[in-house]
Amino acid sequence: MSDDLYRLTARETVAKLKAGEITPLDAIDAALARIEAVDGRVNALPTLAPERARDRARELMDRPPSERGLLAGLPVAIKDLNPVEGVRTTYGSPIYADHVPEASDIPVQRIEAAGGVVLAKSNTPEFGAGGQTFNEVFGATRNPWNTSLTCAGSSGGAAVALATGQVWLAHGSDLGGSLRTPGAFCSVIGLRPSPGRVPRGPSDGGFNYLSVNGPMARNVADTALFLDVLAGLDPRDPLSWPAPAVPYRDAVAAPAAPRRIAFSADLGFMPVDAEVHDICTAAVAHFEDIGAVVEEHAPDFSGAMDAFHTFRAVLFVTEHAERMAAHRDKFKPEIIWNYDKGLALTAGDIASAEHGRSALFQRMADFFENYDLLACPTAAVPPYSLEQRYVDRIGDTVFDNYVDWMGLQCAITVTSSPAVSVPCGFTADGRPVGLQLVGRPRGEAELLQAAALFEQATGLDRLLPIEPRDPAS
């Protein structure tokens, strides 16, 4: 077995597994060797399950390679918000520091049914709240491009594990940017699917459309493969719906170029770092090189952030009421603020948010009658200091909470449109920047096709995986 197996793409590694050139045990050994070599510097995968993974690998090896599923024994990482049977799952909270679930949730079940081997749990902020991956159980996860910086959150461990070659595919989730922002900060792909595209739960918040599960990978084609594994109907999720007739991996293999793209550096309301603005403005021109018309335009996002804050607060009460009653002193202050905000809402507040969400959805529908995609920066800032809990100011704009700096991501969440962060460049001091592409609701295939063409034009996927880099002296 080559020591460079970790450098292959997920698709290349799966092909070797299916051809019998390597075994799932070989892939596990390669991943564990890479984890041993680099994770001590970045803290992406704090919980490992090697023996469980090897048991699963041996079960798969009892079948012919062609009958081992889409992933054929490929090791993957699962975000530490999702329970895995028999594997420590903490949710980044001291309340669950020693919690070992008796059953896996739906996304994990789908991954294992498709031949994925759960090797590790990836680090996440407490209950996934916040755009900085740190918690009291495992500490902070560091950005591999500069270990003094944050990798963002909440799927930060997943993004770092991918960028450093510790796994080939990583599962994540996204409420207000948790797949997209770490994707941008670590120069990997983070796809937020449409609500219902990837079944989740079972949970008390089954009708919550804000939070979705989704795939992360080092390139778009690997992301499409992982989405094929995750997508589909599950009767336990009331929002889920069937997978498409044409697999996403096939759609990406023969991508059709978008015809007309709208670009906005600020979506009409968000302050954006000047360097991020310039990098994304220059990067979107790649679409002109493949024949698309790019115009400066954006839908009206009035009321989007108010609606997001309201529905997020409702969700926090839905998910944390019992825990908050028993363990309020163990929650970080940002979650307590969000929870109390939810308790203070009136019926009128919720009705106003519902009206705002519906109006925005209709404006987006009108927008997509004229445009194939909306493009904007994934995040308004590049990666920031690991010591900073969240961004409290951009230019002259001061934020009074830990969410508003992620406005470019949160506003898109409210639309129910799928969105993907694609690497688009680096600041002068080497910090990654991502371009957020937004497609029609349930339009993941077209969105991934456009992302694949953009990736081909930039070639930035070929920079991965990397060795963790300490800050310049």
Point out the residues that are catalytic.
Answer: 79, 154, 178
Q: Which of 437, 451, 406 is nearest to 128 (CA)?
A: 406
Residue 7: DSSP 8-state: G
DSSP letter string over 348-382? HHHHHHHHHHHHHHHHHHHHTTT-SEEEEESSSS-
Taking the CA atoms of 252, 248, 16 and 26 in sequence, report the sign of the dihedral they define.
Answer: positive
Q: What's the maximum distance between 2 C-alpha atoms anywhere in the chain?
A: 63
Cβ burial, residue 156 (10 Å; 0-12/13-18/19+): buried
Residue 195 — φ and ψ, nearest 5°? -55, 130
Amino acid 448 reads L
Tell me the two tokens of residue 193. 């699917």
Helix axes 444-458, 220-230, angle to 10 degrees: 160
Residue carrying structure tokens 């998910």: 319
Residue carrying structure tokens 């918690």: 135
Which residues sit opposite 231 in a β-bridge? none
Q: How far apart are the first and last CA of the chain?
A: 37
Helix axes 220-230, 10-19, angle to 10 degrees: 60
Cβ atoms of residues 316 and 342 within 8 Å: yes
**Residue 418 CB partners (closer than 8 Å, separation 6+):** 191, 192, 193, 194, 197, 438, 439, 440, 441, 442, 443, 444, 447
Cβ atoms of residues 401 and 337 within 8 Å: yes
Cis ω on the peptide bond leading into residue 202 (within 30° of 0)? yes
**Residue 213 CB partners (closer than 8 Å, separation 6+):** 82, 107, 171, 172, 173, 174, 193, 198, 200, 230
